[in-house]
Structure 1
Amino acid sequence: MKAADLIAFLTGKMSMTDLYQPAVIKELLLHGGKRTKAQLASALAQYDLAVQEYYERIVMRWPKITLTKHGVIDYERRGSVFFLRMMPENETAREEAIRICEQKIQEWVEKKRSKEKAPEVGASVRYEVLKDAGGKCALCGISAELKPIDIDHIIPRAIANKNGKVRKDGRLIDVNSRENLQALCFSCNRAKRDTDQTDFRRTAKLVRDGIPDMIRAEGRSPDVRQLQGPRLGVALYDKLIEEHAELIAADKPGHKLEELADMAEVIFALADQYGADRQSLLDLAARKREERGGFSGGWFYSGDS
């Protein structure tokens, strides 16, 4: 394929749902028509706040599938390398193709900005939202130490009125008001659609059985209610996610053991939901260990050779 074919694709055939295609082509043009998956992921990261792993998945989906279908690129699994099939033969054509890619990217950025007319959330507000969330994702509970945490608008900015207001809980509030902001990790935030208005913030949580009495002993009046049945089951699953995130974030062996003990208590409570007491669950674990072994050996299975 010749340079004219690439220009024709860029100016006529390329249909964009995001800026990925021109960004990938531009990166290949800038480096002799050859880049690895990781290098292309790094290039895409320049245009968004995601991380390397996220964009490596992106590269392998829409840009790879679409550009391969149109015969623009080839992909070699060995080395995870992309090749530009329409590599221009002279510098002038290459620069023209790069210019068009930059123009397409800028047009997409401006289009996105026009949909998000409200100003950005200030740094101090971001800090307060992250502080309130304990530095964790409101949905999956993972710590900011493990995944980047975004500030998400519960009522999306895209549907704010011309004055930057959105309707939440029957009231008009500023789209960047703290009550319209929640902390989500980059994975949960990108899984949340632009029209999704779910508030994932946990304003209440399951606590150990003795905590209410401990609070009362301090002279305070805890606002508590006792969950049972399916509602308790849901709360226990949420608690397990919370404890798992705290286990991963713990930085000392003693702290990790404390979190493991908390996880074990939640697991025992979940077992009770399914008709097994603590000893029955331990007996089941012992039988499975005798039949199949445990996990301390470190055997990692990746398929048959």
Structure 2
Amino acid sequence: MSNSIEQEVKNIVQLIMDDYKKPGAINKGDTFNQPNKDEIIHIIKNLQYIIFPRYFNNKVLKSYHKEYQLGAVIEDVTYQLNKQISFALRYRPIFAEAAKETVDKASEEITIAFMKKIPAIRECLETDVEAAYEGDPAAYSKDEIIFSYPGIFAIMINRIAHELYILDVPLIPRIMTEHAHSITGIDIHPGATIGKYFFIDHGTGIVIGETTKIGEHVKIYQGVTLGAVSTKGGQNLKGQKRHPTIEDGVTIYSGASILGGNTMIGQEVVIGSNAFVTSSVPCMTKVSTKNPELQFKTNRDTTFEVKELEQNGFLDYII
């Protein structure tokens, strides 16, 4: 580089260093005492091995080393998670100025409580894999689902993050679910409560809000939003039920939006594609938008209408 560019680089460095000194959320200085995103993603990968050992294990070690390998991974997860939780707890007001010993004790208790939840997480994921296999004729094996389905990956991370969320761990659950979001396009807040046998088909563009409650045997397709009617209230809405309740056996087709904390979708309801629902729906109901009229024009400018195939007045389909 020329001398003039070197001098300008020095000036730019000083300019940005001076900017760092200004107050603001993006200028946080104590970067060594906060959760580390890369470490949290590493924890997720190790938890994936623990949950699905036959699929994501270390192929180098022989089968007779299984207990040793599992012990090593659990020890690593426990140590790293405990460390990250101890950093995250400082975001809770009661721990912001607490003594290190107090925070460390609380972090250890939370870490152990979470690790003991792993069998329950695995039990739920077993049902999710079953739901995906039974619900998708394009699935040729459960191995295919575990290895490749983005919905299962997103649900796995959500079930992990949800347990940390209910243990009142700040920041880490959201880092986990946003990691899944960035990979799969499926955005599930860790606060959402999801029952067993949950099936996400395709998945891209799905949004499930923090206070959503989902029952068992629920199936949703790509582009579905389970959201709030309005977020204009901002922080004043914190802690309120803002998102819908979906009861057992509901199917929600692609592009549907179900909004509002008072909105309850009853058992065995089917919500058709692109429906916009802001009020409760009783059990055993099918909800659909009016079919649009389709017109096709040939090269000769001839126009003709096409009637869509309906079954009992409701367009039922899978992709």
Q: TM-score of the superposition, structure 2-length normalised?
A: 0.24
Structure with bigger RCO (C-alpha 8 Å, 6+ apart): 1
Q: TM-score of the superposition, structure 1-length normalised?
A: 0.24
* Structure 1 or 2: more helix by fraction: 1
Q: Which has the larger radius of gyration?
A: 1
